[in-house]
Amino acid sequence: MTEQINYNNPFVILFLAGTIGTYIIRQVLKTINWYNRKKNGQTIPQTLVARPEAACFDTEKLKNINEYENAKFYYSLPTAFLTLALKITLVCTGFYPWLFQKITILTGFPNGFKQTYICAFLFMLLDSIPEALLNIPLDLFYEFKIEKKYGFSKMTAKLWITDFIKSTVLSVMLTAILMAAAIAVLTFMPQSWWILLTCLLFAFTLIIQVLYPLVIAPLFNKFTPLQDGELKDKITDLMTNLGFKSDGIFVMDASKRSGHSNAYFGGLGKSKRIVLYDTLIKQLTTDELVAVLGHELGHYKLKHIIRKFIVMVPFEFAFMYLLFRIAQNHNIYVGFGFPFAGVNIQVVQFIGLILAAMVAESLMEFLNPITNFFSRKDEFQADAFSARLTKNPDALISGLIKLNSENLSELSPSKAYAFWNYSHPPLTERIEALESIKLELRK
C-alpha cells in the first residue's frame, strides 16, 4: 500500500505553492491584459497612426483582433483551471505511488537493468495519460472552434487524427530511446549520473536538431526548394554577404493546416536550411521577406544562439546536480507517498528524478521575466541588424505590421503582461526602435 501524502513535507509544499502560484500569476496577468484590451483595444497606438501600412488596422480589423484575443482568454480560463485541478488531484490522491506500485508488480522491479528500464518507461508512459486525455478535447475545441472561427485553421478531422498518431508514435519512440540511455546512466553511475545525464541531454538535443529538418519535419509537411526568381536571388545574396551556408531555401506547405505564418532556420551543419511558410510568401513582398530573414540571420551573426548555449551549459549542469541531490533525499519520496522507507535510494533514483523535475517545473514560471527580458533584448538587436544590413528599415517595419495584422496579434498589450510573457517586444516598441535606426542611417 502507498503512504499518505505529507503536506508538511518541504517538497510537497514547494510543488503546491509553485503550481498554485503559477496559476494565480498567469490568471491575474491575463485578466489585467483583458481589462487593458477593453480600454485600449479599439485605439490605434500613436506609433502606428502616421504609417500608411497601418491602414490595415481599420475598425473591423481591430474588432477581429480583440475578439480573437478575448476568445483565447475565455478558452484559457477553464483550461488553466482543469490543468491545475488535474495536477493537484494526481498528487494528492497518491496516483503516482499507486501507479508505481502496480507497475512494480507487473515488471518484477527491482531486478536489474531490464526491469528497471521497463518499469521507468511504463511509469513515464502511463503517468502522461491523464493529461493527454484532458488535452485532447481542449485541443480539438481550440483548433476546430476558435482557430476555425477566425479563419486560421485549415485542419480536417482526418489530418488532425493523422498528426496525432504520428506525433504520439514519434514521442513514444524518442522517449523509449532517451529513457534507455538515462536508466543505463542511473543504474551504472548511481553516484555521478548527473554529469553524464546532462551531457546525454545536450547530445540528444543536438542530434534532434540535425534530424528534425531531414527526418521529423517531412513526416508532417512537404518541403519544396524555393523557385528561382527575385526572392531566391536576394536571399542568396544576403546569405553570401554574411558567409551563411545552408542546405537550401525551402517552402513549407503550412497553409494545409493553418493561416498563421512564420520562417525559421532548422538543423545544424550540413542539415541547416532556411524554411519559409507558404503563407508568409503570400503575405509579404520580396523586400519585406528579405528583411524578416535578415532579422533571423541577425541572431546567427550576432551569435545569440551560441551565447544562449554557452550560458545554458553551466546552468544545466547546476540544475541537474540539484535534481541529483534531491533524488538522493528520502524526504521527497516520503512526502509524495512512496513507501521507500529503508529502501536503497540508488535503485529508485529515476522516481526521485521525476519527482524533483515535477517540483522544479512548478517553479519555472518565476524565471519567465528574466528569460523573456534577455530574449526581447536579442530581438531588438536582430531587428537593428536587419535594418542596417538591408539599409531598408521600412521594409522590416511594414513586414512586421503585416504579420501582426494577418495573425491578429494584439497591438497594445498590458505592460505587465508583456513584461512577464513576451519573448518578443510588442510591435510598437519594435517600430520605435527601428525608427531610431532609420534616422541613424540617414545621417
CB 131 within 8 A of CB 142: no
Residues that are catalytic = 296, 383
Q: What is the CA radius of gyration of the chain?
A: 25
Secondary structure of 38-75 in the HEC alphabet? HHHCCCCCHHHHCCHHHHHCCHHHHHHHHHHHHHHHHH
Which residue from 398, 414, 423, 317 is spatially nearest to 48, judged by alpha carbons? 398
Distances (CA, A) of 105 to 98, 99, 101, 119, 345: 11, 10, 6, 10, 19
Dihedral over Cα of 11, 359, 83, 70: its sign: positive
Pairing mode, strands 273-277 and 249-252: parallel
CB 42 within 8 A of CB 57: no
Query: Which distant-in-sequence residues (6+ apart) come within 8 Å of 275 by Cβ?
Result: 213, 217, 223, 250, 251, 252, 263, 264, 265, 266
